A and B are shown apart, each in its own frame.
Chain A
Amino acid sequence: MKKILVTMLVALCAVSLFAAGAKEASNQSVSTDGSTSMESVVLSLAEVFEENTGIVVTYNPTGSGSGITAAQEGRADIGLSSRSLKDEEVASGLKGTTVALDGIAIIVNNENPVSDLSVEQIAALYTGELTSWAEVGGADAPVVLIGREAGSGTRDGFESITGTEDVCKYNQELTSTGAVITAVLSNPNAIGYASLSAVDDTIKTVLVDGVAPSEETVLSGEYQIQRPFVFVTKADAELSEAAQQFFDFALSTDASDIIADAGAVPLV
């Protein structure tokens, strides 16, 4: 009896595996590949798009660099990048279309009294010019710099905006936004940066030049530490019908609420 049950269960598992595979293959699909920071935006868009059209949108979280390469090599219909395309990437026949903006929030531990920093101060903290919180109006304690690993879109965005490329003296380089937030939460002297969409009330965000990071301030340009979310496509090749549909949907006004719900700032 037990044996039969086990056999049936195994068979069921096997059949469901094939069934799932078969279903995916029979439908039209759009493949996206790239920035991990864009995960919540792309997945929310994909969910609504699939409900409306029945077209499945796959998302492969590999990072901006890989996403751009994937678009170039044709491995993905749409590459996702959380930075603007570089000149040489545009020259190689790629086109970037900004679908949303993302603010990078500067986070400190909840016990930290510092609540307003200028971009220059943030840069000075991260380059090691200022090493004590006392120098920016906080307690007399060493500053612990938390950042992301080399190649991360958030790190690239943060460093290029603050002008600290390659000179940040990190104490920790972590591989995900969640890890950065956890590290900052657990160390009273820590400062970190994270995508605005990933930050909630549990962690203290500082004002940058007196401006709090929010949708309005990012869109108006008042909040300075922000970056674009870009769809990367080939300039000379046409998208498949399904991919073009998804592309248009993401730029339409219908999508703006979804993008906002996902924590980014829609353009329209």
Chain B
Amino acid sequence: MNLNERMNVLFSGYKANPKRLVEDLIHFIFLILGLITVGCVLIITVYLIISGLPAIIEIGPLEFLFGTKWASTASEPSYGILAFILTSIYGTSGAIIIGVPIGFFVAVYLAKMANKRFKDAMKLCVGVLAGIPSVIYGLVGMTVLVPAIRLIFNVPDGASLFAAIIVLAVMILPSVINVSLSALEAVPHEYEEASLSLGATSTETYFRVTVPAAKSGIFTAIVLGIGRAIGEAMAIMMVAGNVANMPGLFKSVRFLTTAVASEMSYSSGLQRQALFSIALVLFFFIMLINAALNFIKTRSQKI
């Protein structure tokens, strides 16, 4: 069979039914678009592993992950990122401890108690909060929050882990509120009606019936909040002080993200490779969070 005949066989179906050609073409284009997304993830993963592993091997995994001293440009450089890891964990936990209760109660209030006009206005505000670029959070934090912390807590310098926690807590509010809100709103009314008809007060009903029913949605909100907090760089770079100290509430600290961002522009050699390794560690954390998110989702589907 020569090429012409093959083409004839291939296209004979389309000749009979030209619409199918269009259909198949569209499917093909959509497939390509989907593959682009998958390709991006694969390229980033592979690139990070390839560029991040050499430094970890050269420095030694234990020394890299559990070393407490980071002095990348010193004459005798040392590359220990335990301080960054702990700072990222503490900072994220702090933001969750402050941000999640606020976001959760706001969501309960908006979903169940607020009147419609107030709810709409407040949802608009939450939307605006979500849309504010992180550099603006940083700018306001730097010029308002940092001096305020210095005055209120009477510390020499306000640029600290505490300032970063406050900024992160505000930044995760919108995602916590929005996701919890839609979870709470998705709870069937019959549940609540049953509870109310048994004599429970409305507040009892919301916290004993609605919230447990929306549990998995609220967990999702928390995990999304963690994801946003641990990946944020710009805003906290402006308020956290960026010194590679072991974390302390009013100490100047450096997060995993800011460690990469602040030194990347001037870095070279092993320092640069080590920054990629930090990025790899951060990527690993994000993967863990995504896995947790998937776990929650699949478990909630089973119930």
* A interface residues, Cβ below 8 angstroms from B: 36, 62-66, 69, 141-144, 149-153, 156, 165-166, 170-175, 179, 182-183, 186-187, 189-190
Which of A142, A149, A165, A183 neighbours the largest number of chain B CB atoms within 10 Å of its CB? A149
Q: A69-B268, A150-B71 are in contact. List 10 more A-B contacts (CB 8 A).
A: A65-B268, A152-B266, A153-B266, A166-B73, A166-B74, A171-B243, A172-B159, A173-B252, A179-B142, A182-B143
Considering the chains assembled together, what is the distance between the CA atoms of A151 and B73 in angstroms? 7
Q: Given contacts A65-B267, A186-B147, A187-B150, is CB(A150)–CB(B73) below 8 Å?
A: yes
Name the CB-closest residue of A to B155: A142
CB pair A171 B263 closer than 8 Å: no
Give 8 A-B contacts (CB < 8 Å), ordered by A residue: A150-B271, A151-B265, A151-B268, A173-B252, A183-B142, A186-B143, A187-B158, A190-B157
Minimum CB–CB distance for B250 against chain A, Å: 11
| Chain A residue at minimum C-beta to C-beta distance from B76 | A166
Q: Identify which of residues 141-189 in chain B touch chain A, using a CB-to-CB cut-off of 8 Å.
A: 142-143, 146-147, 150, 156-159
Q: How far is the CA of A69 from the CA of B272 in the complex (A)?
A: 13
Rounded to whole Å, the gap between the CB of B74 and the closest CB of chain A is 4
Within the complex, the shortest CB–CB distance from A10 to chain B, in Å, comes to 21
In the complex, the chain B residue whose C-beta lies closest to that of A152 is B266
Contacts of B237 in A (CB 8 A): 175
- State A64–B159 Cα separation when bound (angstroms): 27
Contacts of B252-266 to chain A: CB distance below 8 A: 252, 254, 261-263, 265-266
The chain B residue with its CB closest to the CB of A169 is: B243
Measured in the bound complex, the distance between the Cα atoms of B245 and A173 in whole Å is 11
Most buried by B among A64, A151, A165: A151
Least CB distance, B185 to chain A, in whole angstroms:
36
Q: Does B72 reach chain A (CB closer than 8 Å)? A: yes
Top-5 shortest CB links A-B: A151-B266, A63-B266, A166-B74, A142-B156, A150-B73
Interface hub of B147, B158, B266 (most chain A Cβ within 10 A)? B266
**A144-B156, A183-B159 known; A172 vs B252 contact (CB < 8 Å):** yes
Closest to B261 in A: A175
- Assess whether B242 is interfacial by the CB under 8 Å rule: yes
A62 near B73 (CB under 8 angstroms)?
no
Most buried by B among A36, A141, A175: A175
Check if B75 is an interface residue, CB within 8 A of chain A.
Answer: yes
Closest Cβ neighbor of A171 among chain B residues: B157
Chain B residue nearest to A149 in the complex (CB)? B262
Do B72 and A186 touch (CB < 8 A)? Answer: no
Across the interface, A171 reaches (CB within 8 A) one of B156, B238, B261, B266, namely B156
Contacting pair B146 A171 (CB below 8 A) = no
Instruction: Tell me how far the C-beta of B87 lies from the nearest C-beta in chain A, rounded to whole angstroms.
Output: 14
Q: Does any Cβ of A come within 8 Å of B241's Cβ?
A: yes
Contact of B75 among A141, A152, A165 (CB under 8 A): A165
Among candidates A144, A165, A175, A190, residue contacting B262 with C-beta atoms closer than 8 Å: A175
Chain A residues contacting B266 (CB-CB under 8 Å) are 62-66, 149-153
Docked pose: A261 CA to B97 CA in angstroms: 52
Among A66, A153, A183, residue most surrounded by chain B Cβ atoms (within 10 Å): A183
Nearest B residue to A153 via CB reads B266
By a CB distance below 8 angstroms, the chain B residues around A65 are 266-268
Given contacts A151-B73, A182-B142, contact A189 B267 (CB under 8 A): no
Q: Are B157 and A172 in contact (CB under 8 A)?
A: yes
CA distance A65 to B271 in the complex (A): 12
Within 8 A of A (CB), among B199-232: none
Q: A251 to B194: give the CA distance in the assembly, Å.
A: 86
Query: Which residue of B156, B157, B242 contacts A173 across the interface (Cβ within 8 Å)?
Result: B242
A166-B75, A187-B147 known; A62 vs B238 contact (CB < 8 Å)? no
Report the minimal beta-carbon distance from B243 to chain A, rounded to whole angstroms: 5
The complex places the Cα of A140 from the Cα of B168 at a distance, in Å, of: 34
Which chain A residue lies CB-closest to B242?
Answer: A173
Contacts of B72 in A (CB 8 A): 150-151
| Cβ-defined contact, A189 with B268, below 8 A | no
> A residues within 8 A CB of B73?
150-151, 156, 166
Which residue on A lies nearest to B143, using beta carbons? A186
CA distance A142 to B263 in the complex (A): 28
Give the distance to chain A from B178, nearest Cβ to Cβ, in Å: 31
| Inter-chain contact B143/A171, CB cutoff 8 Å | no
**Min CB gap A32→B, angstroms:** 16
Whether the Cβ atoms of B271 and A165 lie closer than 8 Å is no
Give chain B residues whose Cβ lies under 8 Å from the Cβ of A152: 266
A35–chain B nearest beta-carbon distance, Å: 9
- Could you tell me the distance between the alpha carbons of A144 and B243 in the complex, rounded to whole angstroms? 13
| Minimum CB–CB distance for A167 against chain B, Å | 9
Which residues of B sit under 8 angstroms from A170, Cβ to Cβ? 241, 243, 252
Q: How far is the CB of B278 from the nearest CB of chain A, in Å? A: 13
A186 to B254, CA, bound (A): 21
Once bound together, how far apart are the Cα atoms of A183 and B241, in whole Å?
Answer: 10
Contacts of B74 in A (CB 8 A): 165-166
Q: Give CA–CA (A152, B262) in the complex, Å.
A: 10
Cα-based distance from A156 to B72 in the complex (angstroms) = 13
